């Protein structure tokens, strides 16, 4: 996985997708700061996820952004996405690999070096650590500190994605502590003060 310093954002979809979303996504990706887009819809039907996924995949392709599916390896396979992201309670990597082959598979490792080592042994393509800050998108069970990124960097060269409540006030510290990508959702899509395009412009 090549790391482009300018494209440090790992963008996660809002929990609900409305019609204006596609236009906003296009404007956001035009800024050339996003490397990955993860579709994370917990409450939609399978059919709806496929329809939404097809539309997003086209937009991602246009801007050379890797399109990933959260949790569901079967949907990732059906959409022929660039890969999937697995939580600790989802399918294990070995099984996922058999289903989607040589695609990107990332794993949530919370704040645990032990989980990182398991993910590395199973040949994950990237690891997600966090939460580094309080998040409105997800209930936080695991709190991580920036020294964790440095510890992980000593044992592996694969990319580290920092997650949890990242915004324009706190993102720089994570990049300075060598996080390769920053997973961002609420700051872009549910920002009370800024439209998605304005929000992403503040992340330089």
Express each pLDDT in 146-162 by its tens digit: 999 999 999 999 999 99
9-201: CATH topology is TIM Barrel (3.20.20)
The C-alpha atoms of residue 176 and residue 24 are separated, in whole angstroms, by 29
* Percent of the chain with pLDDT strictly greater than 90: 91
**Cβ-based neighbour number of residue 201 at 10 Å:** 14
Determine the pLDDT at residue 92.
Answer: 93
34-73 core/surface letters (b: 16 or more CB in 10 A; e: else): bbbbbbbbeebeeeebeebbeebbebbeebebbbbbbbbb
Residue 136 has pLDDT above 80, yes or no: no
Burial class (CB in 10 A: 0-12, 13-18, 19+), 141: exposed
3-state secondary structure (DSSP) of residue 129? strand
**CA–CA–CA angle 185, 189, 194 (5° rounding):** 120
The Cα-based distances of 169 to 36, 105, 156, 189 in angstroms read 21, 29, 28, 16
The answer to whether residues 26 and 200 touch, using CB atoms and an 8 Å cutoff, is no
Q: Model confidence over 9-64: pLDDT tens digits?
A: 999 999 999 999 999 999 999 999 999 999 999 899 999 999 999 999 999 999 99
Q: Taking the model in full, what pTM does it have?
A: 0.96
**CA count, 13 A, side-chain hemisphere, 165:** 14
What does the pLDDT look like over 82-102, one tens digit per residue?
999 999 999 999 999 999 999
DSSP string, 22-84: HHHHHHHHTTS-EEEEEE--SSS-HHHHHHHHHHHHHHHHHTT-EEEEES-HHHHHHTT-SEE
C-alpha to C-alpha distance for 192 and 201, rounded to whole angstroms: 16
Q: If you average pLDDT over every residue of the chain, what do you get?
A: 95
Other C-beta atoms lying within 10 Å of the C-beta of residue 82: 19
């Amino acid at each position: 996985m090549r790391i482009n310093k300018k494209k440090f954002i790992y963008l996660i979809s809002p929990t609900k997708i409305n019609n204006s979303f596609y236009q906003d996504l296009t404007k956001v990706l035009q800024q050339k700061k996003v490397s990955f887009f993860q579709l994370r819809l917990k409450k939609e039907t399978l059919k709806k996820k496929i329809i939404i996924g097809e539309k997003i995949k086209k937009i991602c392709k246009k801007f050379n952004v890797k399109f990933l599916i959260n949790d569901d390896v079967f949907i990732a396979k059906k959409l022929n996405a660039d890969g999937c992201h697995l939580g600790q309670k989802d399918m294990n990597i070995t099984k996922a690999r058999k289903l989607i082959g040589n695609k990107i598979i990332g794993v949530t490792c919370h704040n645990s070096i032990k989980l990182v080592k398991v993910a590395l042994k199973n040949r994950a393509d990237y690891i997600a650590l966090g939460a580094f800050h309080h998040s409105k998108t997800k209930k936080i069970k695991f709190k991580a500190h920036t020294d964790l990124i440095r510890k992980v960097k000593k044992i592996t060269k694969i990319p580290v994605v920092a997650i949890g409540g990242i915004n324009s006030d706190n993102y720089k510290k994570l990049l300075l502590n060598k996080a390769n990508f920053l997973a961002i959702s609420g700051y872009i899509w549910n920002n009370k003060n800024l439209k998605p395009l304005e929000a992403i412009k503040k992340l330089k």
